[in-house]
Structure 1
């Protein structure tokens, strides 16, 4: 498969999407952060000095989705129509799981926006809780599904890790 972001000489370039059809594009991504039992307790009790970890991480994820093209060099600016970021406690980790969905009507997909939202939301959790647990681990940031575009829809196969 030829990579569309490389020119004939192998130099990186922004892909020309001017001739692509305008369609509804969606993407969903997820990730998690594992933390110590003490850090998890503080998050669940909303006792972290910096504030409400789940609420702030959700806002940070939304902001990141909107600024993705400023962070990823060859990513097109996308006029997002919807972003939803959900951060939830997961006692089994223990830690926080983040899921983000992005939607736009345009010529290019929103996978990077969903992935950026998850990544920055998780980094925000780390930032807010690091005084208690510097050993937190960010886990499995990945795309779950994308719809729209000429290559069609894609969904992660639940029976294997793509």
Structure 2
């Protein structure tokens, strides 16, 4: 069995010294404003994208539904990801950018709180759930859609400081 080192900067934070899954104790960390931004894409046929953009989809405003789903996803993150802390989010924003030249929609989320742990997982979950909702609502007209490129773009606050993807 592999040995796991304790709390070094390169060790996994959700694994204890015995190699067992463990929720990180954040009770000693100071509260700070924390913000995370994530993005992802859903690629689709041009005709599907046009249907969404024109508002002509039989299911209605699919972007509005996906926005609400993404917000709900962020709020439910700790229910979905076993070792995530339940967080009192102060802001969840989900935006869409239709990119017809690339036959896709860019999904961007921003999560914010004042607390002891970051909101990267909540931002990623918001993007993921919004993308899945778009897929669900459009699968009857386009079975070829793909969800791709989900990643954290930026995080602010906390002990490790600010970080931004190049």
Give the TM-score taking structure 1 as reference length. 0.94
Structure 1 residue 67 corresponds to structure 2 residue 79: no
Q: Give yes or no for contact 1:53–1:128 (8 Å, CA) kept in 2.
A: yes
Greater shift in the superposed pair: 141-150 or 83-92: 83-92
Structure 1 residue 9 corresponds to structure 2 residue 2: no
CA distance in 2, matches of 1:120, 1:83: 13
Find the counterpart in structure 2 of residue 29 from structure 1: 38
Q: Please state how far the C-alpha of 1:64 moved relative to its aligned partner.
A: 0.6
Q: Please state how far the C-alpha of 1:88 moved relative to its aligned partner.
A: 2.2
Structure 1 residue 42 corresponds to structure 2 residue 51: yes
Q: Give yes or no for contact 2:78–2:84 (8 Å, CA) kept in 1.
A: yes
Match of 2:145 among 103, 127, 136: 136
3-state DSSP class of the match of 2:101? Answer: coil
Q: Give yes or no for contact 1:54–1:88 (8 Å, CA) kept in 2.
A: no
Give the TM-score taking structure 2 as reference length. 0.92
Find the counterpart in structure 1 of residue 121 from structure 2: 112
Find the counterpart in structure 2 of residue 160 from structure 1: none
CA distance in 2, matches of 1:72, 1:92: 35
Q: Please state how far the C-alpha of 1:156 moved relative to its aligned partner.
A: 0.2
Q: Please state how far the C-alpha of 1:44 moved relative to its aligned partner.
A: 1.3
Q: Please state how far the C-alpha of 1:95 moved relative to its aligned partner.
A: 2.1
Q: Please state how far the C-alpha of 1:42 moved relative to its aligned partner.
A: 1.1
Find the counterpart in structure 2 of residue 82 from structure 1: 91
Structure 2, gaps ≥5 residues long: 1-9
Name the count of aligned residue pairs: 157
Could you list the structure 1 runs, at least 4 aligned residues long, displaced by more than 2 angstroms after superposition: none
CA distance in 2, matches of 1:27, 1:37: 31
Q: Give yes or no for contact 1:48–1:128 (8 Å, CA) kept in 2.
A: no
Bigger-Rg structure (1/2): 2
